[in-house]
Amino acid sequence: MSFSKNIVILHFYVERDAIAEKYCINKYKPGLHCNGHCFLVKQLKKEQQKETKDMGDQMSKVEVVSSTNYFPVFNPNIVTTILNSIHYSYYDCKYTKDITLLVFKPPRTLA
């Protein structure tokens, strides 16, 4: 549901009594309990037609663009340049301590 339809529905519920009195087709047939819903339906149909017309106008204005403008042709030289420029590095920690000797001590002999 579009925003304009919400406005129409909101306007209907705010001005319900005035709409039922001025615009209702069935105001002389109280057994139908229309209370202006006929006017609401007309307005919603009008908004729907307006929306489909606007949608048709937008679809006719779609621009066709070649895909080569957005996706350049594959160039293998670019890939090799990128692969050659990658430098791998590693971290050599020279300050390690062998913690296994601190945690695991050999048992003492009983002699």
Q: Would you say residue 67 has pLDDT above 70? A: no
Q: Is residue 91 part of a domain?
A: no
When pLDDT is averaged across residues 51-75 and rounded to a whole number, the result is 67
The pLDDT value given to residue 1: 52
Q: Is the pLDDT of residue 63 over 80?
A: no
Asked whether residue 19 is domain-assigned, the answer is yes
Against a cut of 0.85, is the pTM above it?
A: no
CB hemisphere CA count around 108 (13 angstroms): 2
Look-up of token digits 């925003």: 3
Q: Per-residue pLDDT averaged across 1-21, rounded?
A: 80
* 42 belongs to a structural domain: yes
Examine residue 20 and state whether it is found in any structural domain, yes or no. Answer: yes
Judged against a pLDDT cut of 80, whether residue 38 lies above it is answered with yes
The SS3 of residue 13 is: helix
Structural domain of residue 11, as residue ranges?
3-58
> 37 or 3: which carries more pLDDT confidence?
37
Residue 87's pLDDT band (boundaries 50, 70, 90)? low
**Domain count of the fold of the chain:** 1
Q: Which uninterrupted H or E stretch holds 28?
A: none
